[in-house]
Structure 1
């Protein structure tokens, strides 16, 4: 579920915490789970893997491996299941071919060898199933679980800023590769509501002084200077044009670089 929307989720490596998924990867923002925020545990937990292995004395130990292989789409796990099935069948056949004593119980070296094989199957399968069960029944780092209520405070604020930065980066990449689509989506045009969230970008070639002040934090006098410089040049070719020709000082230049955008035709 690489396309899962950004938000707070149960940390796949520590179920006692929440971790922020930015829409494409886990971030380092974490927060302890609080009362009422922990999502309910649903579905099976995979304990049946061990139950069927031990209850069948190893005869059905391959079943969990075939189940895990189908869930994880992993041919190697299927091969391991096939090997375990073959050994368990050999052990069962050896016990079946063994002579019996007066009480009807298998005896002799065939029986002993078969018992050793079955015990080995149970032991090896159980050890391998510890890891497989976690992979099948717990969320992976690339598949976020169901979202929970985001925590408040600094962690939530930091995650919101990070999400906006990611959206600005995505919008800039789109504008660079497909400027026509960027215009149709209204990227950098806060006055146009077309449903695309660009993270708060501003097209410096269409921005008004008021927008430059509101979005980029420029003082009114500096904002007017940027618009005047644009009129003199005809249009800005890069964001740095607005900074240099608009005489934007270094106290405001970083914000203009972060929020400003120039869409150029390819």
Structure 2
């Protein structure tokens, strides 16, 4: 699977101390402290900053001994900063859990199915004959058009109506009875009035219903 954006950002962040020879370590850890709201990481950033400042000060002193010592410290800070960054990368940029990915996928699928229902309704309003030919709202018959789970209340059999959210056997019986008596409904609101559907049930099923003549 492709790495998540958080994982990719974490790897790039951890490489900052390495590619900057350790001098970017204080800034890298300061960013981590702000991102995680951690005083501990803030103190670590300050420590790396003090170490880098000491190295630069000794390098500028002109003293050969201090120059050698500063070079040793610079290498030590470079290695330590890089290793430290990679060690805590997963806590600064935690990976997205599998459950979160599944939930996000489920949300995306649900939104996509909703868009299919909206497209099918628009098509049915523009060309009812084509809607019948495509069997929109008829999951009980063979078809190739995906309407996102719509149910044509005026033509679907009782067992399909029973699968609508909030439907009970009693409501299905009333809907079918009134449908047969008056030849169908024109809207969910009319169905709710004529079939005595409880107000709290109608919103549950309205998103999945269509009423073709």
Of structures 1 and 2, the larger Rg is shown by 2
**In structure 2, how many angstroms separate the alpha carbons of the residues matched to 1:214 and 1:16?**
37
Distance change >3 Å, CA 257–CA 171, structure 1 → 2: same
Q: Do residues 184 (structure 1) and 133 (structure 2) align?
A: yes
User: What residue ranges of structure 1 are gaps of 5+ in the alignment?
Assistant: 1-9, 18-31, 35-150
Question: 1:236 matched to which residue of 2?
Answer: 185
Q: Distance in 2 between matches of 1:157 and 1:193?
A: 26
CA RMSD of aligned residues (A): 2.2
Task: Please name the residue that 2:212 is paired with.
Answer: 263
State the alpha-carbon separation in 2 of the partners of residues 16 and 227 from structure 1.
50
Relative to 1, partners in 2 of residues 1:171 and 1:16: Cα closer, same or farther, differing over 3 Å? Answer: same
- The 8 Å contact of residues 216 and 256 in structure 1, kept in 2 or not, is answered as yes
What secondary structure is seen at the aligned counterpart in 1 of 2:162?
Answer: helix
Q: TM-score, normalised on structure 1? A: 0.42
Equivalent position to 1:250, from 199, 202, 205:
199
Query: Greater strand percent: which structure?
Result: 1
Count how many residue pairs are aligned between Structure 1 and Structure 2: 121
CA contact (8 A) 2:140 2:156 kept: no
Q: Secondary structure in 2 aligned to 1:186?
A: coil
Q: Tell me if structure 1 keeps the 8 A contact 2:137–2:150.
A: yes
1:1-266 matches, within 5 Å, as 17=5, 152-264=101-213
- Identify, as 1 or 2, the structure richer in helix: 2
Which residues of structure 2 form unaligned runs of 5+? Answer: 9-99
C-alpha change, 1:33 and 1:203, in structure 2 (3 Å) is farther
Q: Which runs of 4+ in 1 moved over 2 A?
A: none
Distance 1:33 1:229 in 2: 58
